[in-house]
Chain A
Amino acid sequence: MDTLFSLVPLIVFLPVLGLLINIAFGGKMGEKAIGTVASAASGLAFVVSVLLGVALWAGGGAEHVVPLAEWIRIGTLNIPWTFRVDTLSVTMMLVVSGVGTLIHIYAIGYMHEDVRFKNDVGRYARFFVFLNLFIAMMMILVSGDSYLMLFVGWEGVGLCSFLLIGFWYEMDTLGRPSWANSNAAKKAMIANRIGDFGFLLAAFTMFWAFGSLQFGEVFGKASQIAAATPGVILFITLFLLVGVAGKSAQIPLYVWLPDAMAGPTPVSALIHAATMVTAGVYLVARSWPLYSLVPNAQFIVALVGAVTALFAATIAAGQYDIKKVLAYSTISQLGFMVAAVGMGAYVAGMFHLITHAFFKALLFLSAGSVILGMERGHHHLPHHEPEAGHTEELFDPGDMRNMGGLRKQMPVTFWLYIFGTLALAGIFPFAGFWSKDEILLDAARKFPAIYILLTIAAFLTAFYMGRQIWMVFYGKPRHAAAEHAQESPKVMTVPLMVLAALSLLGGLLNFPGIDTLTNWLGHTIEAAEGEVALPAWLAVSWGGFNPWTALISLGLALLAIYISWLIYGRKPLENGQKDPLKQPFGFIFTALERKWYVDEIYAAVILNPYVAISRFLADVIDWRFWHDWFHEKVIAGTYNFVSKTVLDLRIDQQFIDAIANGLGNLTRRVSGSLRRLQNGFVRSYALAVLFGVVIILGYLLLK
Chain B
Amino acid sequence: MGVLGGIPLSGFLAVSAILFTMGALGVLIRRNAIIIFMSVELMLNAANLAFVAFARAYNVLNGQLFVFFVMTVSAAEVAVGLALIVAIFRSKHSIDVDQMSSLKG
Contact = CB atoms under 8 A, between A and B. Distances in A.
B31 A683 contact: yes
Interface string B12-56: 000000000000100111010000000000000000000000000
Nearest to B30: A683
Contacts of A682: 97-98, 100
Interface string A677-693: 01111110011001000
Interface string A659-685: 000000000000000010011111100
A671 to B, nearest CB: 9
Contacts, number: 29
Nearest to B29: A683
A550 B33 CA distance: 131
A680 B29 contact: no
A686 B104 contact: no
Contacts of B97: 681-683
A681 B101 CA distance: 6
Interface residues of A, number: 10
B2 interface: no
A675 B103 CA distance: 12
A616 to B, nearest CB: 73
Given A690-B24, A690-B28, A683 B98 contact: yes
Interface residues of B, number: 13
A683 B28 contact: yes
B5 interface: no
B105 interface: yes
Contact of A680 (B24, B27, B31, B104): B104
Contact of B105 (A675, A681, A683, A687): A675
A674 to B, nearest CB: 8
Most buried by B among A678, A679, A682, A687: A682
Interface string B62-105: 00000000000000000000000000000000000110111111
A687 B24 CA distance: 9
A687 B28 contact: yes
Interface in A522-577: none
Nearest to A674: B105
Contacts of B27: 683, 686
Contacts of A679: 101, 104
The A interface is mostly helix, strand or loop, or mixed, namely helix
A156 B29 CA distance: 97
Nearest to B25: A690
Contacts of B103: 678, 680
Contacts of B101: 679-681
Contacts of A680: 100-105
Nearest to A682: B97
Nearest to B105: A678
Contacts of A687: 28
A683 B98 CA distance: 8
B58 to A, nearest CB: 20
Contacts of B31: 683
Most buried by B among A675, A678, A680, A687: A680
A682 B29 CA distance: 11
Contacts of B29: 683
A687 B104 CA distance: 17
Contacts of A675: 105
B92 to A, nearest CB: 13
A260 to B, nearest CB: 86
A687 B28 CA distance: 6
Nearest to B97: A682
B26 to A, nearest CB: 10
B28 A686 contact: yes
B98 A681 contact: yes
A512 B43 CA distance: 130
A669 to B, nearest CB: 15
A45 to B, nearest CB: 87
Contact of A678 (B28, B98, B100, B104): B104
B70 to A, nearest CB: 17
Contacts of A683: 27-29, 31, 97-98
B101 to A, nearest CB: 3
A683 B40 CA distance: 13
A256 B46 CA distance: 110
Contacts of B28: 683, 686-687, 690
B55 to A, nearest CB: 22
A680 B102 CA distance: 7
B57 to A, nearest CB: 20
Nearest to A681: B98
A557 B81 CA distance: 122
Interface in A634-680: 675, 678-680
A690 B29 CA distance: 13
Nearest to A678: B105
A688 to B, nearest CB: 10
Most buried by A among B24, B101, B105: B105
A690 B23 CA distance: 12
B98 to A, nearest CB: 6
A678 B29 CA distance: 18
Contacts of A678: 103-105
A130 B97 CA distance: 89
Most buried by B among A675, A681, A687: A681
Nearest to A693: B24
A680 B28 CA distance: 14
Interface in A582-597: none
Contacts of B104: 678-680
A686 B103 CA distance: 16
Interface string A86-130: 000000000000000000000000000000000000000000000
Nearest to A675: B105
A539 to B, nearest CB: 122
B27 to A, nearest CB: 5
Interface string A348-383: 000000000000000000000000000000000000
Nearest to A684: B28
A677 to B, nearest CB: 8
A687 B29 CA distance: 9
B33 to A, nearest CB: 9
B97 to A, nearest CB: 5
A680 B98 CA distance: 7
B66 to A, nearest CB: 19
A683 B105 CA distance: 16
Nearest to B101: A680
Contacts of B24: 690
A683 B101 CA distance: 11
28 contacts: A675-B105, A678-B103, A678-B104, A678-B105, A679-B101, A679-B104, A680-B100, A680-B101, A680-B102, A680-B103, A680-B104, A680-B105, A681-B97, A681-B98, A681-B101, A682-B97, A682-B98, A682-B100, A683-B28, A683-B29, A683-B31, A683-B97, A683-B98, A686-B27, A686-B28, A687-B28, A690-B24, A690-B28
In order of increasing CB-CB distance, the 4 nearest A-B pairs are: A680-B101, A680-B104, A678-B105, A682-B97
Interface of A: 675, 678-683, 686-687, 690
Given A680-B103, A682-B97, A686-B28, 20 more contacts: A678-B103, A678-B104, A679-B101, A679-B104, A680-B101, A680-B102, A680-B104, A680-B105, A681-B101, A682-B100, A683-B27, A683-B28, A683-B29, A683-B31, A683-B97, A683-B98, A686-B27, A687-B28, A690-B24, A690-B28
